[in-house]
Amino acid sequence: MAGDEWKDAIRRNYSYFKNNIADPLDVVEYLYGEITPPVLTENQKEQVKAEGTTSKRVGKMLDILLRRGPRVPQYLYQAFVETSNPECAERLAPYLLQQEKAALKKDPSEWPPPLEEHKAMARDHVTYLRPNDPCCYMQYDSEEVYSMRRERRGLVFIINNEQFLPGSGMSHRTGTKFDRDNLNKLFEGLHFEVIIKNNLTKEEIIKETKHVSRSDKIKDSDCFIFIILTHGDDKGVCGIDGSSVPVTELTEMFEPNNCSELNEKPKIFLIQACRGDKRETVNPSSGSGQVGSVGDGGGTQDSADAVDSKQFAEPNISATATVHSKSDFLIAYSTPEGSLSWRKTNSGSWFMQAVVWILKYEAHLKDLVEMLGKVNYLVSKGKASHGEHHYVTVSNYHSSLRKKLYFFPGIYGDKRVHPSCIN
């Protein structure tokens, strides 16, 4: 916290702490003996002990801590957690969370990111929580947050279409391998099992998706994530034969009547494909932002993609369903309906690069909806240069999630540290 702002975290709760800290001597001993270097000196510890009542000891301790520096709220929070003062820890958590969000890794210098920044991001690992981090403390057991407690969170199913068949009328999707590999690394780091299928026709997309929806792996999942990287048209996402599948046909396979194991659990669909052939242009001299260096220009766009808008009959809900069949879905698209989506041949699509960037660095502090807002922001900054024209797009999502979805990277079960987060 800048300047003396950190002191507000203590001052605003001063009276509450005086009345609610169970045993200030336990807190003082932790601050003296369990943190290196110690937050309190031995002399300061003795000054607190010399006070005659619990209230005066708390007051003395807090007065000393207000002179000790900006890291005090974090140390005091840890001390509260470790000395069975959870309500006091809860009072400090919002301040610490705000501080951590302010310290997040900076955004890329431009979008799409320069190749060296992209490569550096691809090498980085997911940022992990520790068991006593404020985000974990505030959200891990909340009824307003989806349960994500298993060591294996669930399943990520990725369809990556790169090599399109002769006669499909569609070009190869050069650069999609970067999206595939970076997404694989991201979600393994977020404790998911990842299944990848490459170069599927329309019928194979339907067959493999149906197989996943009936897989035993779904049964032990807290969450399911479907990702497709492909061309698209105004009817849906395309197989390598050029035929398309409506996105609704895929999502329906995971509704409670078809996949009861995911009832009341989050189901996330990330769609990288165009949804039409509309190209929206901007004039870079109008103040809309710096033109990004997209060297492969119009030659790197996908084909069109759009969600089927036809009405369909609602299926009968099975006895296992406890919420509306359309509940607990989030579907995110790389571009608006009717528009082109953009991809760089040497690093991947604008949208999936942004998904990986934001989730890798911010999933330890933010829920999915908040992060996708940031993804939309990054994608909207992109400018695809082609001749005198500069094209833009923006990713978007629609959600029927009923709770917040945090990934809690680095912990599972009873707030234990995941072995892979020791780094």
Please answer whether residues 334 and 350 qualify as being in contact, where contact means their C-beta atoms are separated by less than 8 angstroms. yes
With b for 16 or more beta-carbon neighbours within 10 A and e for fewer, the 306-340 pattern comes to: bbeeeeeeeeeeeeebeeebebbbbbbbbbbeebb
Are the CB atoms for 246 and 317 separated by under 8 Å?
no
Q: How far apart are CA 186 and CA 128, in angstroms?
A: 12
- Taking the CB of residue 37, how many other CB atoms lie within 10 A of it? 5
Residue type, 138: M
In Å, how far from its chain's centre is CA 377? 14
Closest CA to 86 of 128, 48, 38, 140: 140
Other C-beta atoms lying within 10 Å of the C-beta of residue 287: 7
Are the CB atoms for 152 and 132 separated by under 8 Å? no
Active-site pick, 238, 259, 274, 421:
274
> Is 274 a known active-site residue?
yes
Query: In this structure, what token pair is assigned to residue 125?
Result: 């690992």
Distance in angstroms (rounded) separating the CA atoms of residues 260 and 262? 5
Vertex 372, ends 368 and 378: CA angle to 5°? 145
Q: Which of 231, 364, 390, 418 is catalytic?
A: 231
Query: Tell me, what DSSP letter sits at residue 175?
Result: T
Pairing of strands 192-198, 154-160: parallel
Please name the amino acid found at residue 46.
E
Tell me which residue has tokens 């979805």.
405
Nearest CA-CA partner of 368 in 328, 410, 314 = 328
**What CA–CA distance (Å, rounded) separates 331 from 354?**
16
Q: Quote the Cα angle for 296-165-383, to 5°.
A: 20
Q: Which residues are catalytic?
A: 231, 274
